[in-house]
Amino acid sequence: LAKTTQPISMDSYEGQEVNITCSHNNIATNDYITWYQQFPSQGPRFIIQGYKTKVTNEVASLFIPADRKSSTLSLPRVSLSDTAVYYCLVGDMGSSASKIIFGSGTRLSIRP
Amino acid sequence: DVKVTQSSRYLVKRTGEKVFLECVQDMDHENMFWYRQDPGLGLRLIYFSYDVKMKEKGDIPEGYSVSREKKERFSLILESASTNQTSMYLCASSNGLATGGYGYTFGSGTRLTVV
C-alpha cells in the first residue's frame, strides 16, 4: 500500500495561494490521489481527486507530475475559513482487499 | 442533503463495558467504513464493508467488531472497552463505483471516553 508523506503544518496569510505537497513514492498503477479537508469537530470532506496531470474544480487544483510520485494541492486566494487539516490519500477501490490510508495530514493555519 | 449520521456525538463508558457505535447513511452507498482519529496519528481504518453482511479488517481491528445487517447501517462494537480505545470515531460511506477514496462522506464523529 502506498504511504503518503506531507508537511505536518503550514502557515499562510489571507489572499495568498497555498500549495501543499504530498509524497507517495510507492504509488501503484491503479492508484488515485485524493485530498480531504477537515475542520475541528467535523469529519473530513472530499476536496479533489486526480490520476495524472492537472485537475481543477471550484475549490482547488491538483497537480500531479508524470512520475506520479508526488502531488500538490493548490488553494487559490485562501481565507481564514481555509484553516483546517488537509489529508492526502492514495489508493484504489477496485479491489475488495484495497484500503485507503489517511496519513497524519497537514495542519494549515491562515492568518489575517 | 446527503448524510452520514452517527448516533452519539459524545459518549462516556466504563472499562469492560460493551459499546455500540451506530452509523446510518441515506445515500444507498455500498461501502461503509469505521476510522478512529487520534492526535498525531491521523485517521486509522478499523473495519470496512463492501456489502451487507460483508466486512473486512482495516489496520487496527483488534478489540473491535462490526455488523452490517442492512445496507444503510454499519455498527462498530467494542467488545470490552479499554482506556486505550478513548478516541474520536468516524464513520464514512462511499459509492460502490468510487475509486481510490473518491467521494467519501463522513459523519461528524463520536468522541468516546473510556474511564
Taking the domains of chain B in order of start, what are their residue ranges?
A: 4-98+105-114
Q: Which residues of B touch A (CB under 8 A)?
A: 4, 31, 35, 40-45, 48, 50, 56, 58-59, 90-92, 94, 98-109
* pLDDT tens-digit readout, B59-84: 899 999 999 999 999 999 999 999 99
Q: How many Cβ pairs within 8 Å bridge chains A and B?
A: 79
d(CA A36, CA B104): 9
Pick A43's closest partner by Cβ from B31, B42, B109: B109
Tell me the fold of A9-111: Immunoglobulin-like (2.60.40)
CATH placement of domain B4-98+105-114: 2.60.40.10
Pick B100's closest partner by Cβ from A41, A91, A105: A91
Grid coordinates given for B83:
482506556
Q: Please state the domain extents for chain A.
A: 9-111
- Per-residue pLDDT at B94: 86
Cβ atoms of B33 and B92 within 8 Å: the answer is yes
Q: Is the pLDDT of residue B109 over 80?
A: yes
Sign of CA dihedral A44, A104, A88, B89: negative
Contact B99 A92 (CB under 8 A): yes
Per-residue pLDDT band for A3 (boundaries 50, 70, 90) equals: confident
Up-side HSE of residue B23: CA atoms within 13 Å toward CB? 31
- Per-residue pLDDT at A75: 97
d(CA A42, CA A59): 18
What is the rounded average pLDDT of the residues B29-56? 89
- Per-residue pLDDT at B115: 97
User: Mutate which of B31, B43, B88 to test chain A, going by most A C-beta atoms within 10 A?
Assistant: B43
Contact A49 B58 (CB under 8 A): no
* B73-78 vs B87-94, strand pairing mode: unpaired
